[in-house]
Amino acid sequence: MRIFPSIDIIEGKCVRLTQGDFGKMKVYRENPVEVAKEFEEADLEYLHLVDLDGAKKGHVVNWKVIEAIQAETALKVDFGGGVKSQQEVEELLELGIEQINIGSLAVREPETFVRWMHDYGSENFILSADVKNEMIQFGGWTQASAISIFDLAAQFEKEGLEFLTCTDIHTDGMLQGPNFGLYRKLKKKFPNLKVIASGGISSVDDLTELTYLNLHGAIVGKAIYEQKIKLADLKKLQ
């Protein structure tokens, strides 16, 4: 199972939210690039990078941070947060971003997401699904939809989707463990999708249990910054 340490950016700083609430933001580090370098120095390979300003505004905002991390580290970065245009997709791929997370646009303009997968390769994209009670939330977790995670995944799997990250907003930032039942259901319904767990991971034991579900990967954020999980432990699990 791949381990994806996470960096969330607001106004160029490394932050974490609790349950997706922008009113419950904590700044952990002033310089996200330094954090990324620390991940690389710990021999971690991957980075999940989120532009929370972009998610809220509907377009990528923190380009300087993205460019600096790409220039100053060799981490394999998947990026999300406000990607809404073909130009942004092309600029991110040209910068060397490994994969682009698509969330709100996949709900609002599914035909655009399908076209991008066909034009640029489905391996370059991750469907980033944020859920409450298995129902999709979008717009930086501020809007509810009437579609379930299972219906959304099925819709895009037919079009060649390979990668799915699912974040349970109830667990995100709570450090009380992920929604194991949700990931079991996803793997049972979609055995061929590469599913990535996100939200609530609080310990090495959580990660160990997720490996038994045969997931593709797991995103770890707040547990790192609150020192619940050490970087050396993450390296052992890769």
Distances, alpha carbon 94 to alpha carbons 22, 66, 160, in Å: 30, 12, 23
Cβ-Cβ contacts under 8 Å for 38 (sequence gap 6 or more): 231
Confidence at residue 145, expressed as pLDDT on a 0 to 100 scale: 83
Distances, alpha carbon 19 to alpha carbons 112, 137, 156, 173, 209, in Å: 28, 12, 26, 6, 22
Tokens found for residue 109 = 């303009």
Task: Give me the catalytic one of 130, 168, 172, 206.
Answer: 130
Q: Among this protein's residues, is 168 annotated catalytic?
A: no
Which band of pLDDT confidence, cut at 50, 70 and 90, is reported for residue 125? very high
Which band of pLDDT confidence, cut at 50, 70 and 90, is reported for residue 119? very high
What domain range is 230 assigned to?
2-237
User: pTM score > 0.75 for this model?
Assistant: yes
Least confident among 55-59, 91-95, 142-146, 162-166: 142-146
Neighbouring-strand partners of residue 220: 5
What's the CATH number where 197 sits? 3.20.20.70
Cα–Cα–Cα angle for 224, 229, 230, rounded to 5 degrees: 90
Which band of pLDDT confidence, cut at 50, 70 and 90, is reported for residue 117? very high
Task: Please write the tens of the pLDDT for every residue from 50-99.
Answer: 999 998 899 999 999 999 999 999 999 999 999 999 999 999 999 999 99
- Mean pLDDT, the chain, rounded, equals 94
Q: Among this protein's residues, is 8 annotated catalytic?
A: yes
Give percent above pLDDT 90 in the chain.
84
Q: Into how many domains does the chain fold? A: 1
- Rounded Cα distance between 142 and 207, Å, is 28
